[in-house]
Every structure is written in structure tokens, then in C-alpha cells.
Amino acid sequence: MEDCLAKKMEITVSEAEKRTGRNAMNMQETYTAYLIETRWVMRAHSESMWMRHSKWLLRNYLSVTYPHIVVPPLPEKRADFVWHKLSADNMDPDFVERRRIGLENFLLRVASHPVLCQDKIFYSFLTQEGGWKEMVNETGFQLKADSRLKALNATFRVKNPDKRFTELKHYSDELQSVISHLLRVRARVADRLYGVYKVHGNYGRVFRYAASIDDILEEEEHYADQLKEYLFYAEALRAVCRKHELMQYDLEMAAQDLTSKKQQCEELATGTVRTFSLKGMTSKLFGQETPEQREAKIKVLEEQIQEGEEQLKSKNLEGRDFVKSAWADIERFKEQKNHDLKEALISYAVMQISMCKKGIQVWTNAKECFSKM
């Protein structure tokens, strides 16, 4: 962690600007661009650039290039789990500001990661504006991306799934479920609190503290955003599980193909057919192959078997390396998650206690006023 980029470079998303332009369909649209500023800690040199869609390309690149890593998520594009008085408009200034903070947090997460921070494409993203997209596309990362259909097929057809990754999927589902429940409850409590305070606000100047409820609940929204980050982290965990399933599926298919070829070679060598096949029926109907033909086929199969054994060995090594690297990053993620959520929930509780103390003081003052009447 001493060599991570975040220790050497200050990264901020300092501004958000509403712009109008044309999309890929040549239709006019309104969007928000964000200004990234970077400054080397030990140097006076600094850079700045406006960012729009590049952030999505960056995260896709990182997810494909580092499938064993729990890649930090981007903040939500549209507000969810909000109390009804809060705008869900993605152009609302308060939402844009919270999204700016979320994008800055995403870049800092990547810059602090022991592996991702060393990626040359990420470094280029932070330090050069022109030509970055061409550079990332030249890596060919999109060709390495697995199709959803293939991933779904692997999920249902893997015969020997790794129990650790099966448990990790359950862990990610539970994490998502618990945080979703927390956010829904918080939104309901915020609605109720808003209503109560607004009613009190009509009783006179002595209850003027109630007028600050909008600011209080907006401050709460920042804690909700911290929870939402881990809501989206759950999908990043499942992405690692899917990649492992794909690797396990390819391994099992390679082992099955190798077994089939070895059986064919044995049958040709002994002249016995242990399983029904169309080729075997054809031989019975139209006569056996000549010894020369059989020898040629055996030679081809032996070469294919040798290649298959090497390929299987390579896939086994690749799988073991993936599991080792993935599990190290998953443990790192869990430690980070426990620290962050503990800190966020304690801060939220402290804020609630402070708010309640102020409320008690207001009611105490009100009681004294009434007693003097």
C-alpha cells in the first residue's frame, strides 16, 4: 500500500457542469460532465480534464482486465431509495453534487488498490485527456469480455462448483439484501420525520429548529450514499464468482473432451467399441477401416490427447492462480467493508444523537416558555 498511486497523487473531481450535445444516435441530449484534477504530492505539476462517458469505459476495462478483483463500483446514475421529498432527477443540483463525490471516491478507491493503482491505462486516464479512449480500445479488452449467455450457461452446467465461491454468492446476496432493507427503512423514517417536523414548524417561532429538517435529511443522504456503494459492490463480488464459474466450466469441458479422445484412441487400438456411436454403426454397415487408416487416426488422436493434456494442465494452473488472487482480494474487500460500514453507521448514529439532543433542548425551552405564561 506504500506504493499505491493515492499516496503519491492527489485526485479530486472538483466541478460538475451541465452540457448539451449529440449522442451516438445523433439526437440532442443534456448530460453532466465532471472535471478531474490531479496533483503530484512531491511536485508542483498538476493536470485537469473533463470527464463524461470515459468513466464507464474505464470501469469496464478494469473489470475485464482484472477478473479476479472486486472492482470498485461507480455511483448510481439516478437516485434510488430516496424519501419522497428528495428529487430523483439526475440533473438535480444536490444529486449531481453527491454523484461528484461518488465519482471522486471511485477514482480514489482504484488509486488506493494495490493492483489497480499500477495499471498503465488508469494512470493515462488521470494524466492525459486526448487519445485515452483509443489507447484503451487498442488493448482489445472488449474481445476478452465474456458474453452473458456463456456466463449463464456456465452457472447451470458446472458439475463441481467451488464451495467457497458458492458461499461468496450467498454472501453478496445477503449483503445486497441487508443494505437494501436498511435504505428502505431509512427512507420511510425520513418521510415520517419530515412530516412530524413540518407539523411542529407550524406552531411558532419556538419550533424554528424544525425548519432545518431539509438540511438534516440532505446530510443523511450522504450516509445513505456510503451504504449504496456497498449495495453496488455486491454485484462486483458476483462478477468474480461468474468468472470463476466460467473458468471451472471451461476446465470441465476440456477434461471431458480429453477423456472422450482417450476412449476413441483406446477403441481404435483394441478394435472394441464400448459405447454406441454413429461412427461405430457405420463401420459395421460398410466394413472396417484398413490398418493404415486406423493407425493414421490413432496418431492424430494421440497428438490431440497430448495437446489436450497440456491445455488441461494450463487451465488447472490458471484456475489455481485465479482462486489464490481472487481470495486474497476478497479478504481485502471484506476488511475494507467492515471498516467503512462501521465508520458510516457510527457517524450516522452520532448525527442522530446530536439531532435528538437539539430537539430535546428545543422542547425543554418550549416547556419553560409555556410554564411562564
CB 340 within 8 A of CB 228: no
Ordered alpha helix ranges (H), the chain = 5-8, 54-65, 93-112, 120-127, 132-138, 141-144, 148-157, 163-200, 213-270, 278-286, 291-371
- Neighbouring CB atoms inside 10 A of 179's CB total 21
CATH number at residue 175: 1.20.1270
Is residue 217 exposed (0-12), middle (13-18) or buried (19+ Cβ within 10 Å)? buried
Which positions ≥6 away from 93 have C-beta within 8 Å? none
CA distances from 196 to 7, 84, 202, 362 (A): 46, 14, 10, 14
Dihedral of the alpha carbons of 120, 123, 125, 130, in degrees to the nearest 10: -80
Quote the DSSP letter at residue 41: T
Q: Cα 55 from chain centroid?
A: 13
Local structure of 66: helix, strand or coil = coil
**CA gap 279, 288 in Å, rounded:** 11
pLDDT digits (tens), the chain, 373 positions? 556 888 888 999 988 888 877 665 667 778 788 888 888 887 766 777 777 667 788 999 999 999 999 999 999 887 777 766 666 666 778 888 888 999 999 999 999 999 999 999 999 888 887 778 888 888 888 888 877 777 777 778 888 999 999 999 999 999 999 999 999 998 888 888 888 777 766 665 545 666 677 778 888 888 899 999 999 999 999 999 999 999 999 999 999 999 999 998 888 888 776 555 555 545 544 456 678 888 898 899 999 999 999 999 999 999 999 999 999 999 999 999 999 999 999 998 998 898 888 878 877 887 888 788 7
Domain that holds residue 187: 146-272+288-372
Kindly report the number of other CB atoms within 10 A of residue 105's CB atom.
18
CB 279 within 8 A of CB 273: no
Asked if residue 59 is part of any domain, the answer here is no
From the list 179, 4, 34, the residue with the least C-alpha distance to 102 is 34
The verdict on residue 119 lying in a domain is: no
Give the pLDDT score at 34: 87
Whether 196 maps to a domain, the answer reads yes
CA distance 232 to 228: 6
Q: What's the distance, CA 3 to chain centroid?
A: 24
Scanning the structure block, which residue is given the C-alpha cell 504530492?
Answer: 41
Please tell me the predicted confidence (pLDDT) of residue 107.
94
Task: Give the residue among 134, 27, 122, 106 at the shortest CA–CA distance from 66.
Answer: 122
Q: Using alpha carbons only, what angle is made at residue 126 by residues 125 and 132, rounded to the nearest 5 degrees?
A: 25
Q: How far apart are CA 141 and CA 191, in angstroms?
A: 45
Q: Residue 226 falls within a domain, yes or no?
A: yes
Given this model, what pLDDT does residue 279 score? 56
In a domain, 347, yes or no: yes
Residue 223 covered by a domain: yes
CA distance to 56, 101, 103, per residue, from 5 (Å): 20, 19, 17
Tell me the whole-structure pTM to 2 decimals: 0.84
Question: Looking at the domain assignment, is residue 39 inside a domain?
Answer: no
Domain count, the chain: 1
Comparing C-alpha atoms, which of 69, 66, 16 is closest to residue 330?
69
In this prediction, residue 144 carries a pLDDT of 83
Q: Domain for residue 75, yes or no? A: no
| First-to-final CA distance of the chain | 65
